[in-house]
Structure 1
Amino acid sequence: MAKKRIGILTSGGDCAGLNAAIRAVTRRAIDGFGWEVVGIRNGTLGLISEPIEAEILDKQTFSGVLLRQGGTFLGSSTKGDPFAFKMPDGSVKDRSMEFVEGFRSLNLDGLIGIGGDGSMKILNRLCELGDIPFIGIPKTIDNDVALTEFTIGFTTAVNVAVDALDRLLPTAASHHRVMVLEVMGRDAGHIALHAGIAGGADVILLPEIAYDMDKVAEKIRDVYENEKRSHALVVCSEAIKTSQGQTVMHANEEGKMNYGGVGHEIGGQIAKMTGADTRVTVLGHLQRGGTPAMRDRLIASAFGVRAVDLMAQGKTNCMVAWQHREVVDVPLDEVVKRYKKIDVTGTLVHTARGLGICLGD
């Protein structure tokens, strides 16, 4: 087999486990096939920068520390879509061909991109434009990428949320309070549902299930009156709507709207309707950082090895995925057409209801 030279980049929001995936790609490419691996810095920005931001990766790059380290040592970016790149003067420019030219200037034979659903869509378009052999590796704390049961970063984010609930419970019990925990997840409630069940929540509010504050208040009163418990835990996803039917969003410095803050609305409503002393915690970006959980390291390693193997087989324009405890490959065109929300008829929703958890409906 001819020696190949492949590129790898991380795109979109950071999460735990990215370095494990980059490590796996590099080790498999070098040890398995004798290939050269080029790390591209700061996602797609690295290929449209002048000069191009890239470096050769080898086994010496990866000490034992990187496997355990959160984030991505290559850097990433949630800004600068090459198809609609915002210039310093405020204008928008299509720089997609610069991405293609940057790829070609590095004499690469293929590209492996680690990203969420938004990144997958952009990278898929870019690689189709430049006829670039591409393989995607799914990562996002939201776990909303289609056709894979788990994405890199999700388990660590859930563990952070469960740890927060474990820490909130003693103070809730000590002061007879209702604790509301707002978690990330964008438009999908996977973090809220997983963490709420594992953390013993009394109420879980998800964007996939419309809620009624009267039902939530009734549950809190039931906990206090019938369960004879003077405290309660509520988990809500950042994307749920307020009682007025609005999402709580804030503009960042670029004018992009981001979720955050609906937990305070929920907490205020609970206090008003039940009289309970209520406190709110918004986890925010704490869920993205920290040491990767075992499963994130495991699937990141399995994804990286499989991605290189697929490249060696000449099978590209696909994404690796975790299904039925195995790594498989799925067509990228099918992934970018879909979005994975909570299955409201699925096992976990049934489990929550079976445990007496109020989902607000």
Structure 2
Amino acid sequence: MKDIKTLGVLTSGGDCAGLNAVIRAVTYHANRVCGWRVLGVLDGSLGLMEKPPRYRELHADSFDEGLLREGGTFLGTTNKGDPFRFPQPDGSFRDRSGDFAAGVRELGLDALVVIGGDGSMRILSRLCEQAGIGMVGVPKTIDNDVHGTEYAVGFASAINVVTDALDRLQPTAASHHRVMILETMGRDAGHIALNGGIAGGADVILVPELPYTLDGLVAHLRRVLSQGRSHALLVVAEGVKTEEGKPVSISLPGEQLRYGGVGYYLEREISRRLGAETRVTVLGHLQRGGTPSPRDRLLASAFGVHAVRLVAERRFSRMVAWQDRGVVDVPLSAVTVGSRLLQPDDPLIATARGVGTYIGDV
């Protein structure tokens, strides 16, 4: 097996806080410790599919401590266009996986570190296998729905945003005697809503994995308001459906359906059934941006260093992970199996109920 001389690194999927911290750790360890050349691929897999490939050569000496604090990804990212079925201007689709392999060869990459979620891991692992290049994955997603790891980069920062929003909504809810509804991201997983809702003292937390009824929800709010409180806080994940099980989404021209709007559905139903003044705040992409939390900076640094070590040991087709208070690694085959959803026996669900939060009908 030939020596590693050139390492590629890219970010794929939705952005989040902490991505630049991973790139910094990968570059520093690969440059300074391993003596490798590091190329940052621009805009995820798209950078390797273009001719010529788009990239930046990365040097540890050119990074200052500010990169650790920057949100987003300075390499750029994409969450559109499966290279195996890439959309064309005429509406057709074409397999462009060969273009990816050609880009790998043109840049002379010996291995690739992919920073992404479960969808990115699945697609990039197939692309790398076809291109004959070893891959190591680093989990990142605000949704925290990657299998094999307790935490992904970006999740802690997103929870901070949710908690801060609830801290700001509580006094205005109390001042105006309102029910305040906060809609979070998370798609089909309720990790953001559950963690942020508990930390922010929400009276109601609704997640896609647990059923609820409007009768049960309104009865709980009545109990809260009958105990001397004039306001309430409700957190709902964007993937929560209506009581009848219908998804709530919006459709924009030329795009797939997007989650969004369940907060306004609940606002109408609560106002009608409870007679309380109700307002909705949709956090949206605020959860993705901003300065990474200390937790995400630590996780990103630990993940980046371990990823480079895996490359040095030729232990490919693996993803770095956080388990039992430490960094480990798991096979990609155990990761690329879909989203990691909340389980009914999750201890935080019991915690929420234990502090009097409505989180669905038992």
Residue type of the alignment partner of 2:251: A
Q: Structure 2: how far apart are the matches of 1:107 and 1:47?
A: 11
Q: Structure 2: how far apart are the matches of 1:52 and 1:338?
A: 30
Match of 2:282 in 1: 282
Match of 2:194 in 1: 193
The answer to whether the 8 A contact 1:86-1:93 is kept is yes
Shift of 1:194: 0.2
Match of 2:219 in 1: 218
Match of 2:81 in 1: 80
Match of 1:182 in 2: 183
SS where residue 98 of structure 2 aligns?
A: helix
Q: Structure 2: how far apart are the matches of 1:244 and 1:60?
A: 57
1:342 aligns with 2:322: no
Q: Structure 2: how far apart are the matches of 1:308 and 1:51?
A: 26
- Any gaps of 5 or more consecutive residues in structure 1? none
Match of 2:323 in 1: 323
Once the two structures are superposed, the pairs formed by residues 31-180 of structure 1 within 5 Å of their partners are 31-180=32-181
Q: Structure 2: how far apart are the matches of 1:2 and 1:132?
A: 13
Shift of 1:85: 0.6
Match of 1:272 in 2: 272
Mean Cα displacement is larger for which, 10-19 or 254-263?
254-263
Q: How many residues align?
A: 360
Q: Structure 2: how far apart are the matches of 1:297 and 1:61?
A: 19
The answer to whether the 8 A contact 1:143-1:150 is kept is yes
Match of 1:238 in 2: 238
Q: Structure 2: how far apart are the matches of 1:18 and 1:254?
A: 29
Shift of 1:88: 1.7
Q: Structure 2: how far apart are the matches of 1:260 and 1:61?
A: 41
Q: Structure 2: how far apart are the matches of 1:320 and 1:3?
A: 19
Residue type of the alignment partner of 1:325: R
Structure 1, residues 126-156: CA drift from partner, whole Å, max 9, x if none? 1121221000000000000001000000000
Match of 1:359 in 2: 359
Q: Structure 2: how far apart are the matches of 1:264 and 1:145?
A: 29
The answer to whether the 8 A contact 2:205-2:359 is kept is yes
Residue type of the alignment partner of 1:323: Q
Q: Structure 1: how far apart are the matches of 2:96 and 2:221?
A: 53
Structure 1, residues 287-319: CA drift from partner, whole Å, max 9, x if none? 000000011111110000000001001101110
Q: Structure 2: how far apart are the matches of 1:237 and 1:132?
A: 38
Structure 1, residues 252-290: CA drift from partner, whole Å, max 9, x if none? 443211101110001111111111100000000000000
Residue type of the alignment partner of 1:312: A
Q: Structure 2: how far apart are the matches of 1:200 and 1:24?
A: 35
SS where residue 298 of structure 1 aligns?
A: helix
Residue type of the alignment partner of 1:243: E
Evaluate the alpha carbon distance shift between residue 164 and residue 75 of structure 1 in structure 2; reply closer, same or farther with a 3 A threshold: same
SS where residue 320 of structure 1 aligns?
A: strand
Mean Cα displacement is larger for which, 58-67 or 282-291?
58-67
The answer to whether the 8 A contact 1:10-1:72 is kept is yes
The answer to whether the 8 A contact 1:3-1:34 is kept is no
Residue type of the alignment partner of 1:239: G
Residue type of the alignment partner of 1:51: P
Q: CA RMSD in A?
A: 1.1
Residue type of the alignment partner of 1:332: L
Structure 1, residues 91-125: CA drift from partner, whole Å, max 9, x if none? 11110111011111101100000001111110011
Q: Structure 1: how far apart are the matches of 2:68 and 2:168?
A: 27
Runs of 4+ in 1 over 3 A off after TM superposition: none
Q: If the length of structure 2 is used for normalisation, what is the TM-score? A: 0.98
The answer to whether the 8 A contact 1:205-1:359 is kept is yes
Shift of 1:338: 4.2
The answer to whether the 8 A contact 1:136-1:318 is kept is yes
SS where residue 353 of structure 1 aligns?
A: helix
The answer to whether the 8 A contact 1:3-1:33 is kept is no
